C-alpha cells in the first residue's frame, strides 16, 4: 500500500503544479492592465484640446513690441495689445469656442514659457528655425516677410552695403532670426542684441548703434513715426522661412486645429487684410 500512497502523492503534487501554472493568465491580465495605463497616458497627451475647451480659455504668449505683428495701442483710453498676430490668435480661440488670454513677455523667454506650460501657444512673428523645431512643434507658415536694414536718414548713403558696416554696431532683437542674420551675414560687424524692437530703434536714433536688421513690415511701421530713420539699400541674402505658431512638443491635436484655422485665413485672404489693418492702426494717432 505504501507504494500506491507514494504514487498518489506524486499525482497530487503534479496536480498542484498544473494548478499553479494555471494562474499565469491572471498575471498576463495585470500586464495588460499596465497597457491600459499606457493607453491612458496616450489619451491624456491627445486631450490637449479637450483640456483647453474645459478650461474655457486658451493662453497665448507674445512679445508685444513688434508692429504690425503685435504691439501696444491705446484704444478708447485703454492700453490694448493689437496686431495681425493677435487677430490670428483671436480667430483660433473663436474656432475652438474659448476665450483668448494674452500674456506679454520678452521674446527670448517665450519658448521657455511654452515648455513650462505657462502658455498654450506662442505667436510672435517667430520663424521655425531648426533649433526651435528641436524644442517645440510649429504650425504651417502663415506669413513670410523680407528682412531689411534700417539706418539713420543721414547715413543712408554711408551705409549702403554690408561691407560699409564693417566694424560698426548692428542691432537685432535678442533670440530672433535677425540676430542670427547679423552674425552670419555681417561677420565684420558687432551685433548688439536687445529684447525689444522699440529699444533698438531708440538706440539707433541716439547713435548707440549704426544699423538695425528687422522685417520689412516692422520697419515700415516704425518709420511712419520716425522720419529720421530710413530703410537702407543693403541687400541681405535672407531666405526667411516665414512665421509660424509654436506649440509644446506632442500637442499634435492643437497643431492640427490651428492649421485648419490658418488654412481658412490664408485661403480667403484674411491674413493679408489683417496685415493691412494692423499697419493702418500703427499709423493712426
Q: What is the set of domains in the chain, with CATH numbers?
A: 48-144+243-283 (3.40.190.10), 147-231 (3.40.190.10)
pLDDT at 38: 45
pLDDT at 276: 82
Residue 40 has pLDDT above 50, yes or no: no
Range 125-141 average pLDDT: 95
pTM metric for this prediction: 0.67
Calculated CA dihedral for residues 190, 193, 196, 200, nearest 10 degrees: -10
pLDDT at 155: 97
The residues with which 100 forms a beta bridge, in sequence order, are 58
**CB-count burial class (<10 Å; 0-12, 13-18, 19+) for 17:** exposed
**CA distance linking residue 215 with residue 192, whole number of Å:** 17
pLDDT at 142: 97
Residue range 84-93, pLDDT digits in tens: 999 999 999 9
With beta carbons less than 8 A apart as the criterion, state whether 186 and 211 touch.
no
Indicate the pLDDT class of residue 169, thresholds 50, 70 and 90: very high
DSSP single-letter state for residue 131:
H
**CA distance linking residue 70 with residue 231, whole number of Å:** 21
With beta carbons less than 8 A apart as the criterion, state whether 115 and 198 touch.
no
- Helix, strand or coil for residue 143? strand
Residue range 205-260, pLDDT digits in tens: 999 999 999 988 889 888 988 999 999 999 998 655 689 999 999 999 999 999 99
Q: What is the DSSP string of 187-240?
A: TTSEEEEES-HHHHHHHHHTTSSSEEEEEHHHHHHHHTT-TTEEE-SPPP----
Indicate the pLDDT class of residue 4, thresholds 50, 70 and 90: very low
Range 259-270 average pLDDT: 97
Residue 36 has pLDDT above 50, yes or no: no
Whole-number percent of the chain with pLDDT over 90: 66
Amino acid at each position: 500500500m505504501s507504494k500506491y500512497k507514494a504514487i498518489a502523492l506524486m499525482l497530487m503534487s503534479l496536480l498542484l503544479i498544473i494548478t499553479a501554472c494555471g494562474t499565469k493568465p491572471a498575471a498576463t491580465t495585470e500586464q495588460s492592465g499596465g497597457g491600459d495605463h499606457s493607453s491612458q497616458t496616450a489619451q491624456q497627451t491627445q486631450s490637449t484640446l479637450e483640456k483647453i475647451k474645459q478650461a474655457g480659455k486658451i493662453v497665448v504668449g507674445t512679445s508685444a513690441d513688434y508692429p504690425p505683428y503685435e504691439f501696444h495701442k491705446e484704444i478708447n483710453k485703454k492700453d490694448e495689445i493689437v496686431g495681425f498676430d493677435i487677430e490670428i490668435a483671436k480667430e483660433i480661440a473663436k474656432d475652438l469656442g474659448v476665450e483668448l488670454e494674452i500674456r506679454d513677455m520678452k521674446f527670448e523667454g517665450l519658448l521657455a514659457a511654452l515648455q513650462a506650460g505657462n502658455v498654450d501657444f506662442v505667436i510672435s512673428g517667430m520663424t521655425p528655425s531648426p533649433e526651435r523645431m528641436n524644442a517645440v512643434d510649429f504650425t504651417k507658415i502663415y506669413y513670410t516677410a523680407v528682412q531689411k536694414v534700417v539706418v539713420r536718414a543721414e547715413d543712408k548713403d554711408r551705409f549702403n552695403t554690408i561691407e560699409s558696416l564693417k566694424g560698426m554696431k548692428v542691432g537685432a532683437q535678442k533670440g530672433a532670426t535677425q540676430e542670427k542674420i547679423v552674425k552670419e551675414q555681417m561677420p565684420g560687424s558687432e551685433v548688439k542684441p536687445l529684447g525689444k524692437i522699440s529699444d533698438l530703434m531708440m538706440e539707433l536714433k541716439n547713435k548707440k548703434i549704426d544699423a538695425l536688421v528687422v522685417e520689412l513690415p516692422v520697419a515700415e511701421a516704425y518709420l511712419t513715426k520716425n522720419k529720421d530713420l530710413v530703410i537702407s539699400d543693403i541687400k541681405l541674402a535672407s531666405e526667411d522661412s516665414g512665421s509660424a505658431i509654436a506649440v509644446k512638443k506632442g500637442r499634435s491635436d492643437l497643431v492640427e486645429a490651428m492649421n485648419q484655422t490658418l488654412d481658412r485665413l490664408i485661403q480667403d485672404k484674411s491674413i493679408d487684410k489683417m496685415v493691412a489693418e494692423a499697419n493702418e492702426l500703427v499709423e493712426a494717432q
